[in-house]
Structure 1
């Protein structure tokens, strides 16, 4: 099968997100060869000549979504297919409309990138009823032939364990939790809650913070500024988010206020987050990169296999290796992956 197996999972069963990269800061071989793996996936498998593939992305507002959206189109065209591409500018209602418009154009397959389960599921049911094969990226649904994703349970629990260890198992944390309907965020947040059951000395400060898609960085900075004015120095030990964008604003607030001892933990390896992690003076500690080229290549490969009548070679879920980035290895990761 063209499932990208999470080869590093055994290494991640340790307690810290810092362990998979080793003490030397070396990047795992699977991570370092990410671009080559994606090229190999694109080069192999059947053509999409004469096929049309619809692509509906929730947004291209942050680097992860934008790169996948662009790479999906490139990979379909590299296989000889025709693309109908839409992106909903982070508007759930437009995302639904985009999917319904694709149905009306009768493509041979549809790929949906991210989305809110509550609002989007009825539209995906219509895709299924129309007999159009549905493929998803970071969106688990009963109507999808295949979903390509990182192992978000693995990412979420490892991220949470590292936060817990770095705080010594004691203290208070601020958590952004604005997207319970977005599967990766829901899984990562549930993983945080699960891990913290074994760290009763860590408390999530209530009320939790609500991040948003548009104006994310500035809004998060304002929220953290407000929290830091309210909460005395030394009473916040970490800030958690399921993605990097809020934490870029949070780091600006924390560093600008001169508050020490607050570590920031996120996911996606946004360029702005990597810049902060590379800064020894910044509070941003960790992020997790998801190899967008492999994600896109795997999704398009599965579409091609399915449309070629090779459904038995397409698994329900395809996983890609996460890449864990710390202050110790950020320079090496950026060099090896060109990010």
Structure 2
């Protein structure tokens, strides 16, 4: 009995060890299989479109954009900046503004700073080719995308936006001629050295040839502190020509010029003189709607739209999509006669002026998705 008991006990222990070993192997195999399955599932999830999103659009998020401006004077410029910031932020990026106080040397330095600080893209507002081209080429060498507005820059791979400056000048000058009956004495407020001004001057020369009985009796313009300087100079001209009928109208090639001229004329009580301007902002619109103001009309592109379109053009560059070398922004004519008695803002202007605001130029379908996923 004792001998058999020992054998039985030994066999029992051995059987238990074999069973335990088999169970352990099965558990380990199951754990290993489960772990591998989990790893595979995670890998599949990370590469699936649902998990990863649109990698092309993801690459466009978080872009840092520099806006290098020749000047940021007046409400037109401030609304343009609002348009830039609004569109960049909708795309999930950020903007830093470099204002140059109408100093081309400072503008060139600001452009170099933007290049050296490693922005993803640079927007340029006005300026001259001589001050900009070297910096733009440095940006290109570093892979930084550049889009220019209203500067006479001609560099391969750099899109240039410009207002339809010739059309804007023609719209205002033709209305001036019509209102004046094709004859009279006018004052021109204009300044050289700016690409849009130079284009507007070409239309003005054509106007002079077309209407020889409309005589220019004075011409001036200063881009530094333009509204105040224009007001002071216009006051002096009004003293030089003190009689009603001496001056028929003022043609101002920039809204800041129109503001100054209109204020001088209104304060002098010479509201028989009409002012025709170019560009439009909320402040300009208030003046045009004022029935006591001599400023009766302006031709313009919505400044916020200019900023938005310039940003969209930049993001097409980021994505590697083609852009036209020159993109012309369509202008409209805004006259007091077309506006309601109650005060309106530029955001409401589309209700009264066909073609104003809400431009879809360079707005691609994928941009809607980018705006919705930031």
Shorter chain as normaliser: what TM range?
Answer: 0.7 to 0.9
- Between stretches 236-245 and 291-300, larger displacement belongs to 291-300
| SS class of match (1:249) | helix
Is residue 2:212 matched to residue 1:200?
yes
- Spell out, residue by residue over 1:171-229, the C-alpha distance to the aligned partner (whole angstroms, 9 max, x if none): 11111122x221111111221111221111112124x2122332x22221111111111
| SS class of match (1:142) | coil
Post-superposition shift, 1:129? 5.0
- Between stretches 129-138 and 196-205, larger displacement belongs to 129-138
Q: Please give the root-mean-square deviation of Cα atoms over the aligned residues, in Å.
A: 2.4
| SS class of match (1:169) | coil
Alignment of 1:98-247 (within 5 A): 98-143=110-155, 145-178=158-191, 180-206=192-218, 208-214=219-225, 216-233=226-243, 234-247=245-258
Runs of 4+ in structure 1 off by over 4 angstroms are 128-131
| SS class of match (2:278) | coil
TM-score (norm 2): 0.71
Is residue 2:59 matched to residue 1:54?
no
Distance 1:251 1:81 in 2: 40
- When you count helix as a share of all residues, which structure comes out higher? 2
Gaps of 5+ in 1: 1-44
- Spell out, residue by residue over 1:237-261, the C-alpha distance to the aligned partner (whole angstroms, 9 max, x if none): 1111111112222112212222243
Higher relative contact order (CA 8 A, sep 6+): 1
| SS class of match (1:197) | helix
User: Any conservation in 2 of the 1:111–1:136 contact (CA below 8 Å)?
Assistant: yes
User: Any conservation in 2 of the 1:175–1:239 contact (CA below 8 Å)?
Assistant: yes
| SS class of match (1:164) | helix
User: Any conservation in 1 of the 2:172–2:333 contact (CA below 8 Å)?
Assistant: no
The aligned length equals: 290
- Spell out, residue by residue over 1:85-107, the C-alpha distance to the aligned partner (whole angstroms, 9 max, x if none): 31223332221111011111232
Alignment of 1:80-91 (within 5 A): 80-91=92-103
Distance 1:181 1:124 in 2: 20
Counterpart among 45, 70, 73 of residue 82 in structure 2: 70
Counterpart among 324, 330, 339 of residue 330 in structure 1: 339
Distance 2:297 2:57 in 1: 39
Distance 1:232 1:202 in 2: 19
